[in-house]
Amino acid sequence: MPAKRPAARELPRRLEDLPNVGRAVAADFRRLGIGAPDEIRGRDPYMLYHDLCRATHAPVDPCMLDTFLAVVSYVEGGPAKPWWHYTAKRKRMVPGSAKALAKKGEAASGRAGSKDTGLKADPRSDSAVGRPSGQRGSPQRRPSPSAPRRRRHSDPAEA
């Protein structure tokens, strides 16, 4: 007996009015040629994610796939759940989950058993954030280009 699909619901007019869709996600949908919520109905969330990666010419955060899963499910009559409720489903469905990729990377680098935090350690530093050995506290940050520059006080005698 086939699985029973929930009944389709009336959808809002704007993408931003869907659960889990804000301005950035709506912009991603528009980039894929989807301008209204009813255009999402019947779409494959895995293909939406694949198409988004192709459109951006870069891998997109896998959480976006979770968001696509949540939105497509909602549009097709499913409950409004936060996108992170779909993470486990994505990890089961998509081969090469983060853990598998991390293990593969550890084996290739000879670091099996070490915890991969995603931060690259600088051999000259005492931590993964790149502080030179012996320095404590947070790493220095560069001022933003739009921040006003501080002027050095010059000695009036030098002028």
CA distance 114 to 47: 34
Residue 72 near residue 45, CB atoms below 8 Å: yes
**CA-to-CA dists, residue 136 to 117, 119, 130, angstroms:** 20, 18, 11
Q: What is the pLDDT along the chain (159 residues), one digit of tens a residue?
A: 555 555 567 888 999 999 999 999 999 999 999 999 999 999 999 999 999 999 999 999 999 999 999 999 999 999 999 999 999 988 888 766 555 445 544 444 444 444 444 444 444 444 444 444 454 555 555 555 665 555 555 555 554
pLDDT of residue 103: 52
pLDDT of residue 9: 74
In a domain, 5, yes or no: no
Nearest alpha carbon to residue 138 among 127, 124, 146, 149: 127
In a domain, 55, yes or no: yes
Number of domains in the chain: 1
CA distance 142 to 152: 17
In a domain, 80, yes or no: yes
Q: Which helix (H) or strand (E) holds 93?
A: helix 87-93
In a domain, 64, yes or no: yes
Could you read off the pLDDT of 26-58 as tens digits, one per residue?
Answer: 999 999 999 999 999 999 999 999 999 999 999
Domain of 61? Answer: 15-93
Nearest alpha carbon to residue 84 among 26, 19, 24: 19
In a domain, 100, yes or no: no
In a domain, 152, yes or no: no
